[in-house]
Chains A and B, each alone.
Chain A
Amino acid sequence: MAKYLLQRIASALLVIFLVISLTFVLMHSIPGGPFSREKQVPPAVLKNLEERYHMNDPLSKQYIDYMKNVAQFNLGPTFRYEGRTVNDLIKDGLPKTATIGFLATIFALGGGLLLGSIAALKHNKTPDGVATFIATIGVSVPSFVMATFLQYYLGYKLGLFPPVGWNNGALKNLVLPSIALGAYPIAQITRLMRTSMLDVLSQDYIRTARSKGLPGYVIIGRHAMRNALLPVITYLGPFFAYILTGNFVVEYVFNIPGIGQFFVTSITNRDYSTIMGMTVLFCSLLVVFNLLVDIAYTFIDPRIKLTGQKGA
């Protein structure tokens, strides 16, 4: 286990390093820069700006300086917000994004597991049809449509929840964004859960359990659920990374001051340090969650051992 973890951490660091380097190259090769303006900045002013942000240094020096800073968890100052660092942006925004992400997770995981299980138990009956319908809607409706729809109908027309705003994280403000953010994953989880539960329920050991006269909830809870969960757990790694770093559209529509917006705005602003910072953050989270998911396997299914190769 320890050897396995060390191997994984080493490969994770390598992945992060490669991603940073690649992003650095790609970012500097797109046209335009952080000071591209419709009103042209006079050359002398541009020179002052470049000096201030060390953009007149050769790219190789900028790259090495950046790597040194990242090694010390210093992601540098932003180009877009005067006097704030990328660390500040993450410190301010991540907790808000994570709050919405956490609520969306409860919604998606709880709802998805429940709907998926019900659909499997009532295979080809009305509840199955309803669950499949919800899942199809969730997967096929783009999040900006979902977010705007919820905002307009539940927020504005029915007045159930405030249509926009963070409002210091008041629960009523978080409901719509959480649902909008959870809509896609709830659908995914429902589908995964339904398929794998159907598969598990048709296994011999379940029939054995039934024939022994075990009550339904024991069969589901003790025998079927753990095996049916495996595909869902696999999905959870990328899911957590996705949901914790937020969703640009949901934050944009509901005006949530999280970090999801920076993934898009940093690129349009050519805010180099923020682009890099967001990449580092997302990449690290993804790597960490994938590792956690692998560890979680061993608890769910004791047959899986972390030895560098997954045992069957």
Chain B
Amino acid sequence: MFKIKKKRVLTVAVAMLLVVSVILTGCSSNQPAAPAKVMKTSFNAGAEPKTLDPAVSTGVPETHIETALFEGLTRIGEGEKVMPGIAESWTQSADGMVITFKLRDAKWSNGDAITADDFKYSWLRALAPETASEYSYQLYYIKGAEDYNAKKGTADAVGIKVVDPKTLEVTLAAPTPYFIALTAFHTLYPVNKKVVEANKDWSLKAETFVSSGPFKMQEWKHNDQVVVVKNENYWDAKSVKLSEVTFKLIEDNKAALTAFESGQLDALEHIPIEDIERLKAAKILKIAPYIGTSYYRFNVTKKPFNDVKVRKALTLAINRQMLIDKVVKGGQLPAYAFTPPGMVDVEAGKDFRKVGGDYIKEDVAAAKALLAEAGYPDGKNWPADVTILYNTKSDNKLLAEAIQNMWKTNLGIDIQLHNEEWAVYLENQKKLNYNISRAAWIGDYADAMTFMDMFVTGGGNNQTGWSNAEYDKQIKDVANKSGDQKVRIPAMHAAEKVLMDEMPIMPIYFYTLPWVIKDNVKGVFYSSLGPIDYKFATVE
């Protein structure tokens, strides 16, 4: 009797499990196909945006979404060309100190007219100390801006003048040829003065969000997705073919790739290294140019890297192409100098990197000779505690292990590896608590200055303890004081030569951006500065 009952219990249980699994399985069904002619697409922007208020935002996901939502005085187009945006034209004074922008008849997404006053208000707002915008220094090129931001001057003294509702006059602190391109950067995007003054929380909700670009905000579900739809009030709305773009907020790159492969997502960047070869073989991997350099810092204040010969020896003794082919795999370019390709040179159409050429020639024999001269023949006497510091991430570890191995094989020196959590690593790098440290730099604008001003004496991003009078002179006294490309660009070439002679850093590779997109989505523009632009995109 007892046995039989037990069996019955079992049978019922199994039956229930089956029913539940059938119900659950039945729930999965494919999305109904979108009706024809309505073009929609999606892209994985990454993490939840900190904010979509362009004056205070900082991250990469934010720039993707803001590029769809906003337009500045200018907009970056194919080939990194600076195209007219809300400004239809501009003129510069002979000394390059005053730029006058002529605004077109453009409207906000709520129908208000975009005026020069909106720009003045937006820029002063980004600079106001109370706003505490991290990127406010992108406006320091304007006269009086730095003082106002640092509470040493007033808003009135900032060189932004509204001549009439359609004319904006900007007075710079020093000639800055790339200032016009910088007006396409998000910190300099306009916000609607009337809307922002009436509601300080305007940027938090889709319903109150007003923008100037090809799309407007439809929905913002935190940590889930941001949906933007075509902005009919945009001045160039006839060029915008997409009716909707969904920016997914998936942080896990592996999960995002699975979503892409199962059709939940149309495009994504940040492909996991372990999937790159497979996607390359399947011919779906795309590689976009990206203005960035991966390098190692040497701490020049401590032995053994206080000796330039040691720094040079290590720099010459790695095989960059092999690191790219075997470790990072994304079609990166070996870096034989610091500034990556994609920067303007004196002559239009020429590339700063091509003109400057290579400064590093990998040569194991020469490296060994240098190391011997420095007192470590065949790695003898080499201090045991020299360590590569990197932030905890498997990609960084793979690269560090490969480099450690190359130095061991080629120079006979032992180097330790040490990883730290992101913020701890940043802190130790800043305090020079390291021997060798993994680093990366992504440019903010397409001028070599975004790389070359890093290593001036005491610069916040120097972090190597290195200081060189000649370098400082070329950057601070020549390049930064002149608006003439014929003066400033040769000065930056000269500074880069000094940097590569002294080698406080070891360039490894120039970044690329491996990404994937569905075949039927066309006309997407990936700027080498990072943001993706859907303005001209179509879906077939």
Contact = CB atoms under 8 A, between A and B. Distances in A.
A127 B11 CA distance: 12
Given A81-B50, A156-B261, A254 B427 contact: no
B282 interface: no
B297 to A, nearest CB: 12
B427 A52 contact: no
Contacts of B440: 38
B262 A156 contact: yes
Contacts, number: 174
B133 A45 contact: yes
Interface in B485-519: none
Contacts of A215: 1-2, 5
Given A31-B423, A156-B261, A216-B2, A175 B9 contact: no
Interface string A154-167: 01100111111110
Contact of A36 (B137, B251, B264, B427): B427
A84 interface: yes
Given A36-B426, A161-B28, A220 B9 contact: yes
Given A114-B13, A118-B10, A252 B251 contact: yes
A42 interface: yes
A213 B56 CA distance: 76
Interface residues of A, number: 63
Interface in B355-405: none
Contacts of A166: 221, 224
Interface string B332-368: 0000000000000000000000000000000000000
Contacts of B249: 255, 257
Given A37-B134, A164-B255, A268-B422, A210 B2 contact: yes
Contacts of A156: 258, 261-262
A252 B252 CA distance: 6
A90 B85 CA distance: 40
A248 B194 CA distance: 41
A216 B9 contact: yes
Of the listed residues B13, B48, B223, the one surrounded by the most CB atoms of chain A closer than 10 A to its CB is: B223
A93 interface: yes
B423 A33 contact: yes
Given A44-B146, A164-B264, A51 B258 contact: no
A98 to B, nearest CB: 15
Interface of A: 30-33, 35-45, 47-49, 51-53, 80-84, 92-93, 114, 118, 121, 127, 148, 151-152, 155-156, 159-166, 171-172, 175, 210, 213, 215-217, 219-220, 252-255, 257, 261, 268, 270
Q: Which are the 9 A-B pairs with shortest beta-carbon distances? A: A32-B423, A82-B51, A40-B460, A216-B5, A257-B223, A44-B150, A172-B27, A52-B132, A31-B427
18 contacts: A31-B424, A35-B134, A36-B427, A37-B134, A38-B439, A40-B430, A83-B201, A151-B255, A155-B262, A160-B28, A162-B264, A164-B255, A164-B256, A217-B8, A220-B9, A255-B223, A255-B251, A268-B421
Given A37-B134, A44-B149, 13 more contacts: A40-B463, A51-B129, A80-B50, A81-B51, A165-B248, A172-B24, A175-B24, A215-B2, A216-B3, A216-B6, A216-B9, A253-B252, A255-B255
